[in-house]
C-alpha cells in the first residue's frame, strides 16, 4: 500500500508519452488527412494542444483542434453537491466525416468519455472517434477503452490520480498517486 504521494510520471516521461502517442496516431491514421483533435476541459484540452503541436512538428501539418466541455452531458448532475461550472465548448469546424481524436488526462470509470461521445455526436457524424489518454487507471464502469495510452497505472479505488500540467496548473508537469484523505 502506498502511503505517501508517489510520483509516477515526471515532465520528461509526459513529453515522451505525448510524442509517442502523436506518432501512433499518425501511424494508425496513415497521416493527417481528415484528422482533428478534441480535448476535454480542462487538462484534456491542454494535452490535445500538445499533441497537435507535436503532430505539426512531425508532419508539418496543422490539424483542426477543439475544446469540449461535458458538464451539461454528465450523468451525475443531480448527485453532485455544488453546481459544476459550465464552460464554453469551442468546436469551430464541421466534424462530419472527420477522424476525431478525443483526448483526456485520466481514463477511470469511462463516464466522462460516455458524456463526451454524446456531446460530439450532437455536433455531427464523424467518420470515427478514437480515444487518447495520458493515464489509464482501470476500474471501468462502462464498455469503453482507449486507443492510445500514455501509461497504464493499476490503482485501488481509494487512490486519487493527480495530473499536473504547466498550462492549466502553472506548475511543472507530473502525475502522482495519493491515498484519499478520508
Partner 1 sequence: MAEWTKHSLLDLKSLSVEEIEMILETAKSFKEVSSRDVKKVPALRGKTVVMLFFEPSTRTRTSFELAAKRLSADTINIAASSSALSKGETILDMAKNIEAMNVDAIIVRHSCSGVPLVLADNLSASIINAGDGCREHPTQALLDMFTINEKLGKIKGLNISIVGDILHSRVARSNIWGLTKLGANVTVCGPSTMMPAGIEKLGVKVSYDIDAIIPESDVLMLLRIQKERQDDKRLPSIREYAKIFGVNQERLRKAKKEVLIMHPGPTNRGVELSAEVADGEYSVILNQVTNGVAIRMAVLYLLLGIREPVSA
All three cell numbers of 79, joined, read 448527485
| Least distance in angstroms from the C-beta of 134 to partner 1 | 25
All three cell numbers of 106, joined, read 485520466
142 lies in the site for partner 1, by CB under 8 A: no
Q: Judging by DSSP bridges, how do beta strands 35-40 and 148-152 pair with one another?
A: unpaired
Closest to partner 1 by CB, 69 or 104 = 69
Q: What is the largest CA-CA distance in the chain?
A: 49
Tell me the per-residue interface mask from 16 to 55 with partner 1, x by CB under 8 A, - otherwise: ----------------------------------------
Where would I find the H helices in 60-165? 111-123
Q: C-alpha angle 69/75/77, rounded to 5°?
A: 80
Contact 142, 110 (CB under 8 A): yes
Site for partner 1 in 71-130 (CB under 8 A): 71-73, 77-90, 118-119, 122-124
Q: Which stretch binds partner 1 (CB under 8 A): 13-21, 69-77, 127-135, 162-170?
A: 69-77
| Least distance in angstroms from the C-beta of 89 to partner 1 | 6
Positions touching partner 1 (CB under 8 A) are: 69, 71-73, 77-90, 118-119, 122-124
Amino acid at each position: 500500500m502506498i502511503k505517501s504521494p508517489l510520483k509516477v510520471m515526471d515532465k520528461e516521461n509526459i513529453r515522451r508519452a505525448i510524442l509517442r502517442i502523436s506518432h501512433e496516431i499518425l501511424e494508425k491514421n496513415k497521416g493527417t488527412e481528415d484528422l482533428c483533435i478534441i480535448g476535454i476541459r480542462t487538462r484534456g484540452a491542454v494535452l490535445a494542444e500538445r499533441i497537435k503541436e507535436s503532430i505539426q512538428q512531425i508532419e508539418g501539418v496543422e490539424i483542426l483542434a477543439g475544446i469540449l466541455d461535458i458538464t451539461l452531458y454528465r450523468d451525475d448532475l443531480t448527485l453532485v453537491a455544488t453546481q459544476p461550472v459550465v464552460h464554453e465548448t469551442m468546436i469551430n469546424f464541421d466534424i462530419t466525416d472527420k477522424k476525431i481524436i478525443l483526448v483526456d488526462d485520466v481514463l477511470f470509470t469511462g463516464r466522462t468519455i460516455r458524456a463526451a461521445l454524446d456531446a460530439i455526436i450532437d455536433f455531427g457524424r464523424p467518420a470515427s472517434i478514437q480515444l487518447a489518454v495520458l493515464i489509464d487507471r482501470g476500474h471501468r464502469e462502462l464498455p469503453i477503452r482507449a486507443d492510445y495510452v500514455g501509461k497504464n497505472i493499476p490503482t485501488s479505488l481509494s487512490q486519487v490520480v493527480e495530473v499536473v500540467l504547466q498550462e492549466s496548473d502553472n506548475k511543472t508537469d507530473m502525475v502522482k498517486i495519493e491515498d484519499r484523505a478520508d
